[in-house]
Amino acid sequence: MKAVLLDCDSLGPTDLDLSALLALPLDWTIYPETSSREVSERIADADIVVTNKAPITALSLSQAARLKMISIMATGTNAVDLQVAAQHQVAVCNAVKYGTGSVVQHVWALILALTTKLADYRRVATDGTWQESRSFCLLDFPVEELEGKVLGIVGAGELGRGVAKVAEAFGLEVIYAALPGRQYVDQQRVGFSEFLGRADIVSLHCPLTADTTNLIGEAELALMKPSSILINTARGGMVNEAALVQALLEGSIAGAGIDVLTNEPPREGNVLLNESIPNLIVTPHCAWVARQSRQRLVDQTVENLHAFMQGEPLPRAVL
């Protein structure tokens, strides 16, 4: 069977062990990267496609007559048109729980940097401000303890629960959001408006879907406390970026840590990429990139492909 890996470089493969993947009895074609306009041609005669973020659209699927299986090297499935894949009877699987340690670590790095004003204090320690101080320390930027505050989590899956576990050590109360229009087996959820009003920190850990696109916009930001901060390591489309800029400039919320943007990479720029915006940290979609997490991602992909070739149930089937 012919297999295509569309965007190998997105895995940072130089420090990974790909031997198990390459040892599979497949006729591999591996591309460092693939633009959206190149996908159709590159998967046209493939039986199996592996992609991280290269998009598999309805058009691409219609032109891939031999395609039987897609393995997404991510948890989010928005890179693949699942409805059309199902119509073409193409099996789809993803990867899960591979990046928990890395993402949780990054979330808390953002929370701690914002609440301790780490970037501000680092700057004044080296720009001459400290040297000119009349006191042994600087008190220029207000620092808040986390203990006793409320961490609000949107999404109670692997990542949300992982972030919550660390919160216990800091003495935070954790609440989970009940999103509008959804039914929950776990009744210990807080209605979304009340959730936004109670949380001192809001952290997003749910997939990007039609229901969660622009989940946090002008109205939602207005419900948050002026002292609150927003963390998004999920998907960029869940936060209205223009509304977030306005909220930060007006002081409607106290800060934000953002690892994801609506369009990545932001070749046309982005309103959040502005150093003058106060109390904002933007990182380049790197919450997941610890070497151990990326290796687990490769290993899970091997398991997915092996199961498919053996005719076994896909361990992480989406379709």
The per-residue pLDDT for range 136-193, each reduced to its tens digit, is 999 999 999 999 999 999 999 999 999 999 999 999 999 999 998 888 887 689 999 9
Residue 187 has a pLDDT of 67
- Residue 315 maps to a domain: no
Residue 261 has a pLDDT of 98
- Residue 316 maps to a domain: no
Question: For the chain, how many structural domains are there in total?
Answer: 2
Integer angstrom CA distances of residue 68 from 47, 211, 308:
5, 29, 9
Residue 269, domain CATH: 3.40.50.720
Q: Which of 33, 264, 291, 312 is catalytic?
A: 264
Residue 185 has a pLDDT of 80
- Residue 9 maps to a domain: yes
Q: Is there a single domain that holds both residue 224 and residue 121? A: yes
Tell me, yes or no, if the pTM score tops 0.75.
Answer: yes
Task: Give the residues of the chain that fall short of pLDDT 50.
Answer: none
Surface-to-core class of residue 309, CB atoms within 10 Å of its CB (0-12 exposed, 13-18 middle, 19+ buried): middle
Q: Catalytic: 264?
A: yes
Q: Are 153 and 178 in contact (CB under 8 A)?
A: no
Q: Catalytic: 241?
A: no
Q: Which of 42, 106, 205, 285 is catalytic?
A: 285
Residue 181 has a pLDDT of 82
The terminus-to-terminus CA distance of the chain in angstroms comes to 20
Q: Are 46 and 4 in contact (CB under 8 A)?
A: yes
Q: Is there a single domain that holds both residue 27 and residue 114? A: no
Distance (Å, whole) CA 176 – CA 97: 19
- Residue 319 maps to a domain: no
Other residues' Cβ atoms within 10 Å of the Cβ of residue 252: 18
- Residue 314 maps to a domain: no
Residue 100: both structure tokens together? 């928990």
- Residue 48 maps to a domain: yes
Greatest Cα-to-Cα distance within the chain, rounded to the nearest angstrom: 74
Q: Which of 42, 106, 235, 294 is catalytic?
A: 235
Q: Catalytic: 88?
A: no
What's at 206, amino acid-wise?
A: C
Q: Is there a single domain that holds both residue 213 and residue 258? A: yes
Q: Is there a single domain that holds both residue 65 and residue 84? A: yes
Q: Is there a single domain that holds both residue 207 and residue 242? A: yes
Q: Which domain holds residue 57?
A: 2-98+291-309
